[in-house]
Amino acid sequence: MNIAILTFEGFNELDSFIALGILNRMKGKGWNVQITCPSDSVTSMNGVKIQAQQPLEFANNADVVLVGSGVYTRDIAKDSHILDRLKLDPSKQLVCAQCSGALLLSVLGVLNGLPACTDLTTKPWVIESGVEVLNQPFFAKGNIATAGGCMSSQYLATWIIAKLAGNKSAESAIHYVAPVGEKDSAVSHSMSIVTPYIEALDAA
Amino acid sequence: MNIAILTFEGFNELDSFIALGILNRMKGKGWNVQITCPSDSVTSMNGVKIQAQQPLEFANNADVVLVGSGVYTRDIAKDSHILDRLKLDPSKQLVCAQCSGALLLSVLGVLNGLPACTDLTTKPWVIESGVEVLNQPFFAKGNIATAGGCMSSQYLATWIIAKLAGNKSAESAIHYVAPVGEKDSAVSHSMSIVTPYIEALDAA
């Protein structure tokens, strides 16, 4: 399972790394989670420089694409040099966005009429791009999922694992990362957020 | 306010970056949060290479030191080349540890009889080092705080901001990163975890 976490210049550390950490709980089952960037390295919104693990094109054949967030997303949403390198296909991939990543899914035409979750700062820009923004942490339909608010990236990871490897694996991943003394409640809560959208798919 | 997030080879991404992201909500107030490493770069437990923002010695004069976690902490806890570079002083600094970071605080002699929180994997090694391990996400006394379970790093960040800049600033930081639709409950929960330890200090 190849998973591309799209991470751009000015990226939000929480949005890329919470998902990366949780999804890597599946590393032992062969999941290959990769920080995927338009350049050899990118520097976060708070000045941390990281090396790309994969070039942007890795996303086009990945099983899962998770578009991270950052402070330059509005510029990236107009940058054809970056956008033209992406050929995402939700009929063949899970395509997810965290916070301002929803704006990129919108301009890439992936949302195709679906409502989306995003952060409060990005919300007006996503609305301006023609997408209904939901006042909730997570939404998914079919192979497309969006989450709003940095810490919601745990829900994206939960949904991806539950959808591709089952609820038990998702519960185990959240149990591991959850605070000591709060593990059972954290698992219940995360599963309560994402399960309705998996059932909806199964019933569809 | 200089804040050193100690980040070693094999580091856990959640443990260093959740705290970094939340603490940087205070960047506008002059807080300087720095990934602080024993070498020019370190690679995470899941293969992400990042550049150090500061050398290890930055921690010795920082206002806050947060010891991150990782898969090689037991080795680091025996590595005098690394340990000898650290001169932490909880009488002058806030000294915090996330997950296996508690083991480093223990061998550095910082805990000085205090109990600690850590993750379930590290727990036996922290006990072996002579420290009582608490079955809870967060504990603090005076200027020393520990947290257990990756996502508990939000509580360390909340405590640091509340202690140094007041509850309103801590609430604002958590509100920003919390999931959309869960912001008020996330703020209440984080504050309920850390506030008793701030009151306890003030009353001491």
Which pLDDT score is estimated for B203?
47
Q: Note the CATH number of domain B2-203.
A: 3.40.50.880
Which pLDDT score is estimated for A204?
44
Kindly tell me if the per-residue pLDDT of A18 is higher than 50.
yes
- Give residue limits of the domains in chain A: 2-203
> Residue A8: CA atoms inside 13 Å, Cβ hemisphere, count?
20
Yes or no, beta carbons of A135 and B181 under 8 Å apart: yes
Q: Which residue of B has its CA nearest to A44?
A: B21
Q: Which of A3, A17, A40 to mutate to test the interface with B (most CBs of B within 10 A)?
A: A17
pLDDT in tens, A24-58: 999 999 999 999 999 999 999 999 999 999 999 99
Q: What gap in Å lies between CA B12 and CA B45, rounded to an integer? A: 6
pTM: 0.96
* A19 touching B (Cβ < 8 Å): no
Yes or no, beta carbons of B14 and A17 under 8 Å apart: yes
Q: Which residue of A has its CA nearest to B123?
A: A180
Q: Is the Cα torsion angle A17, A20, A22, A25 positive or negative in sign? A: negative
Q: Pseudo-torsion of CA A3, A172, B159, B25, nearest 10°?
A: 20
Which pLDDT score is estimated for B204?
44
How would you label B83-117 residue by residue, b for 16+ Cβ within 10 Å and e otherwise? Answer: eeebebebeebbbbbbbbbbbbbbbbebbeebebb
Q: Do A38 and A59 form a contact (C-beta atoms < 8 A)? A: no
Select from A46, A117, A118 the Cβ nearest to the Cβ of B20. Answer: A46
Yes or no, beta carbons of A18 and B20 under 8 Å apart: no
Question: Percentage of residues in chain A with pLDDT exceeding 90?
Answer: 96
* ipTM rounded to 2 decimals: 0.96
B chain contacts of residue A13, beta-carbon cutoff 8 Å? 17, 20-21
Which pLDDT score is estimated for A199?
63
Complete edge-to-edge strand list for the sheet that includes strand B144-147: B54-55, B32-37, B2-6, B64-67, B94-98, B144-147, B138-141
How would you label A11-45 residue by residue, b for 16+ Cβ within 10 Å and e otherwise? Answer: bbbbbbbbbbbbbbbbeeeebbbbbbbbeeebebb
Mean per-residue pLDDT of chain B? 96
Kindly tell me if the per-residue pLDDT of B17 is higher than 70.
yes
* A141 touching B (Cβ < 8 Å): no
Select from B21, B181, B183 the Cβ nearest to the Cβ of A13. Answer: B21
Q: Is the Cα torsion angle A176, A177, A178, A181 positive or negative in sign? A: positive
Which pLDDT score is estimated for A203?
47
**Token reading at A84:** 């033209």
Q: What gap in Å lies between CA B57 and CA B97, rounded to an integer? A: 17
Q: Do B129 and B99 form a contact (C-beta atoms < 8 A)? A: no
Kindly tell me if the per-residue pLDDT of A201 is higher than 60.
no
Complete edge-to-edge strand list for the sheet that includes strand A49-51: A41-43, A49-51, B49-51, B41-43
pLDDT in tens, B61-111: 999 999 999 999 999 999 999 999 999 999 999 999 999 999 999 999 999
Which pLDDT score is estimated for B199?
64
Distance from CA of B41 to the nearest CA of A (A): 9
Yes or no, beta carbons of A119 and B180 under 8 Å apart: yes
Calculate the CA A37 to chain-centre distance. 14
**Residue B93, SS3?**
coil
Yes or no, beta carbons of A150 and B120 under 8 Å apart: no
